[in-house]
A = this chain, B = another copy of it.
Amino acid sequence: MYFEISETPIDIIERRTRMVQYHAGGYVSFEGWIRDHNHGKEVRSLEYQAYPALAGTEAEKILQEAKDQFAIDDCDVVHRVGHLDVGEIAVWVGVTAAHRGAAFDACEYIIDELKIRVPIWKNEHYLNGKSGWVECHECKKKAIEKGLIHE
């Protein structure tokens, strides 16, 4: 069970292989990829920035919650920071479990919570030369629902 912030491309196969266990029957993974557009604007590349110390403790809390709530064997997360091009992997979540239902639920829980609670931000660079820190409106709404911030 680990959270890692990576300044270099995430090696999915290496991460996945580390999780192979002979008593686990199912592996569910999520990858967030950099899309070529966001809210109608054409994206060229972006920067992810993290507050590493706080991101680490908050992400580890989320992983522990997933382990407590779902019957899983293991769960890991890696998030990229720095400059990423379209098509690169921003985040990877891997979960193993004896039974697949728990693995799906835990994987979705982890990425959902990460997007609301873990201090990482993105600055999108658009094809038109402009750039800007992205406000994830869905994340903001959910943070308000959770009482983390207010309307």
Chain A residues with CB under 8 Å of chain B are 12-13, 16, 20, 22-33, 35-37, 86-87, 98, 100-101, 103-104, 107-108, 111
Contacts and interface: CB of A to CB of B under 8 A. Distances in A.
Contacts of A36: 22-23
Contact of A35 (B13, B22, B108): B22
B26 A33 contact: yes
Contact of A30 (B16, B27, B31, B86): B27
B20 A100 contact: no
For this chain, the copies found in one complex come to 2
A32 B24 CA distance: 9
A15 to B, nearest CB: 12
A17 to B, nearest CB: 10
B30 A26 contact: yes
Nearest to A17: B12
Contacts of A98: 35
B27 A28 contact: no
A37 B22 CA distance: 9
Given A20-B87, A22-B35, A86-B22, A111 B100 contact: yes
Contacts of A32: 25-26, 100
